[in-house]
Amino acid sequence: MGRKSLYLLILGVLLAYYVYTPLPENIEEPWRLMWLNTHLKTIVHLATFVELLGLNHFIDSMMIGMSFSEVPPTSDENVTVTETTFNDVPVRVYVPKRKSEALRRGMFYIHGGGWCLGSAALQNYDLLSRWTADRLDAVVISTDYRLAPKYHFPTQFEDVYNALRWFLHEKVLAKYGVNPERVGVSGDSAGGNLAAAVTQQLLGDVDVKIKLKVQSLIYPALQPLDLDSPSYRENSDFSILSKSLMARFWSEYFTTDRSLEKAMLSHQHVPVESSHLFKFVNWSSLLPERFIKGHVYNNPTYDSSELSKKYPGFLDVRAAPLLADDDTLRGLPLTYIITCQHDVLRDDGIMYVTRLRNAGVRVTHNHVEDGFHGALLFLNSKISYRMINQYISWLSENL
């Protein structure tokens, strides 16, 4: 074998090693997921390297990589797409073109991205909004919000809440031909977090007369107190969203001080005076046995009050909807929650299902055994089509 052939062989082996990702046997189209993971892994590695050189913040570099997937607000034969602002918050509005004699459903959608990345303009969110508008004959509002690291909690929450309150004005709903009795909120990942948080916040807002009919949460992130649940352990290095990346996102939501991220990963960030909050996120009592599977609950190591005094947001129910008390949960609307087996956030969603049901809320829980974080928006894949059909079918029956 010549030297050139040897070099090509070595390069091929290294490339195959980089691309190959061990996946569970029940994952459909594994090579498609491997290529997606390779793309994301490359962006993460480059962003990490650039940050180590001191040239750019990790999140800012990630955002540059994602910006190439944004699309303009282009109308098609079925849906009119426009951009505007709701209470100074940028939104995209999707309105079906076919005439409707009755008032339409309204869906307020919040994109994911760890409170740091993403926008309503990303192609996957644009397509999901088009399909939702067309298939449900609904007006879809896909909102943006300011992102970390430039902005921290509660800015993201406040942007989304202010935009939603604006949409819920009777005059605004009338302008878009939306039935005030058929409005829902939805979001995925960090957007699911924000959807859950604003839905809770609306319960105590006496100025908002129109109430949500449904909330739909897609693999939501619901608490940063315990990143040591079974799903975090089992999927700590899984494709798309690892435990370390999720801890980085949670930390960036509150601060650029990475000491919070390190404390979260070591389970040492909650002060002893807040220990009572763990009853709301104790997976040993809130998860069905099949998700515990022999995992042993580790009591947290309590921190001093230093981090919580600097960054109190991680103990705020607006950032961690699972911390809401039962009295708050009882007032929530009909709920749909998607969780995926191969996802660090799986247990957050399942614990919320348990707590909502215990509080008397009607909940439909769609647990996707072969699912992974981001699967619903893994477009052109079998699992994405299946999950989107289930999501839209539920909305069609309940919104």
pLDDT at 12 over 70: no
Q: Give me the pLDDT at residue 284, please.
A: 96
The confidence band for 16, taking pLDDT boundaries of 50, 70 and 90, is low
Q: What's the pTM?
A: 0.94
Q: Give me the pLDDT at residue 181, please.
A: 98
Q: Give me the pLDDT at residue 281, please.
A: 97
SS3 292: helix
| 11 vs 263: which has the higher pLDDT | 263
The confidence band for 14, taking pLDDT boundaries of 50, 70 and 90, is low
Strands 79-86 and 363-372: unpaired
State the average pLDDT over residues 210-221: 98
pLDDT at 156 over 60: yes
| 358 vs 12: which has the higher pLDDT | 358
DSSP code of 271? B
pLDDT at 39 over 80: no
Whole-angstrom distance, CA of residue 62 vs CA of residue 140: 27
Listing DSSP states for 40-71 in one string gives HHHHHHHHHHHHHTTSS-HHHHHHHHHHTTB-
Give the residues across from 342 on adjacent strands. 372
State the average pLDDT over residues 169-174: 97
The confidence band for 304, taking pLDDT boundaries of 50, 70 and 90, is confident
The confidence band for 354, taking pLDDT boundaries of 50, 70 and 90, is very high
| 257 vs 13: which has the higher pLDDT | 257
pLDDT at 317 over 80: yes
The confidence band for 240, taking pLDDT boundaries of 50, 70 and 90, is confident
Q: Give me the pLDDT at residue 223, please.
A: 98
| 34 vs 99: which has the higher pLDDT | 99
Dihedral over alpha carbons 378, 379, 380, 381 (to 10 degrees) = 30
Whole-angstrom distance, CA of residue 235 vs CA of residue 24: 11
State the average pLDDT over residues 119-128: 97
Q: Give me the pLDDT at residue 136, please.
A: 97
SS3 291: helix
Residue keyed to tokens 């104790």: 282
pLDDT at 1 over 70: no
| 91 vs 52: which has the higher pLDDT | 91
pLDDT at 11 over 80: no
* Average pLDDT value over all residues in the chain: 93
Q: Which DSSP helix (H) or strand (E) runs through 80?
A: strand 79-86
pLDDT at 302 over 90: no
Note whether 113 and 120 are within 8 A (CB).
Answer: no
Q: Give me the pLDDT at residue 171, please.
A: 97
State the number of CA atoms in the 13 A half-sphere of 99 facing the CB.
Answer: 1
* Phi-psi category of residue 88: left, alpha or beta, with phi > 0 → left and psi -120 to 50 → alpha: left
Q: Give me the pLDDT at residue 67, please.
A: 83
Listing DSSP states for 375-394 in one string gives GGG-TTSHHHHHHHHHHHHH
Q: Spot the catalytic one: 189, 239, 242, 274.
A: 189
Q: Give me the pLDDT at residue 380, please.
A: 81
pLDDT at 394 over 70: yes
| 349 vs 39: which has the higher pLDDT | 349
Q: Give me the pLDDT at residue 221, please.
A: 98
Q: Give me the pLDDT at residue 349, please.
A: 98
Is 396 catalytic? The answer is: no
The confidence band for 106, taking pLDDT boundaries of 50, 70 and 90, is very high
